[in-house]
Amino acid sequence: MNVAFLLLNGTEAVHAAADTVHVAAVHEGGSQEIAKYLLEHVQDSHHLDLPGMTVELPHFAPVQFLGMSFDMSITKHVVFLWLAALLLIIALGIVAFQNSRRKVPRGFGNLTEVFIVFIRDEIALPNMGPGGMRYMPYLLTTFFFILLMNLLGLFPYGSSATANVNVTAGLAIIAFVMIQASSIRSQGVKHYLAHMTGGVHWALWVIMIPIEILGLFTKPFALCIRLFANMSGGHLVLLFLLGLIFILAQVPATASGVWYISPVPVLFAVALNLLEIFVAFLQAYVFTMLTSLFMGLGMQQESHSEKELH
């Protein structure tokens, strides 16, 4: 239900959360500041809020293509997506250079190797077999890129690009291409297309082929919505927890004691904010693990068919 709500409402859910806190405010501007601070981490905009200043981002005229309008303007999420890519290239480039000159990695290089070994031994090899080693660069890039985008939203004036469904959809499209490419490479075009029939009698192909094709798209769709919903939901919960202070201040029975009650939602908000750090790592892991799992199912399909024949 939560995933469906976020999918159907998108940014409207974010605006509705801000409106809820704004209506419940006792002091003018009090809830607006809280809503603005929290929603800036997930809500896209055409400006960047920096300490003491606001930077307007370039805005371009929409591009018309096949009767559709595409806005190619640079937004805040695009900037933080580029920033994550730049930081990733610089940081891992330095790690690769240092580790190539040392037999035993140290410091940040050692920490990075821990993640690399974990993805290799706990994700790639169990889900994809020995053939998964050739896809390690893609899996590592996916994991570190999503992780860094998630973490950037936890810093002041930062923003989580993964809270934008367009970003997660882009990641899911790349995963879709990799899933199909790995399956075709492992099985061959003939076996790949034969798999679309589900191995049933030709009279049932009219039923099985649409189902199999639909199944190809449900996997990346689930990856897209899962990441988007989890990265958006945490900040919305934080907003409602802090907005509870202003809601209680309007209730006559609790208005006088709101300052005694307010530490409770604040403590919950602090605990949830710490939990967001864990969620940032968890969602990067889940996206990478499920992608490797879907790739592995297609890569191992041929071996399963051969065993059944024997």
Cβ-based neighbours of 249, under 8 Å, separated by 6 or more: 24, 26, 255, 258
**Better pLDDT: 137 or 26:** 137
Q: How much is the pLDDT for 11?
A: 41
What is the residue range of 69's domain?
Answer: 2-309
Cβ-based neighbours of 42, under 8 Å, separated by 6 or more: 14, 153, 159, 160, 163, 231, 232, 235, 236
CA 108, chain centre distance (Å):
24
- pLDDT, one tens digit per residue, over 69-84 is 887 888 888 999 999 9
Q: What phi, psi does 68 have (nearest 5°)?
A: -110, 150
CA 168, chain centre distance (Å):
5
Rounded Cα gap, residues 184 and 240, in angstroms: 47
Q: How much is the pLDDT for 18?
A: 42
> Do 127 and 296 form a contact (C-beta atoms < 8 A)?
yes
Burial 57-82 (b: 16+ CB within 10 A, else e): eeeeeeeeeeeeeeeeeebbbbebbe
- pLDDT, one tens digit per residue, over 273-289 is 788 888 899 999 999 99
Single-letter amino acid code for the residue at 43: Q
Tell me how long the chain is. 310
Residue 53 β-bridge partners: 50
**Better pLDDT: 65 or 284:** 284
Structure tokens given for 276: 């967001």
- Confidence band of 248 (pLDDT split at 50, 70, 90): low
- pLDDT, one tens digit per residue, over 111-160 is 999 999 999 999 999 999 888 899 999 999 999 999 999 999 888 888 88
Q: Based on the structure, what is the number of domains in the chain?
A: 1
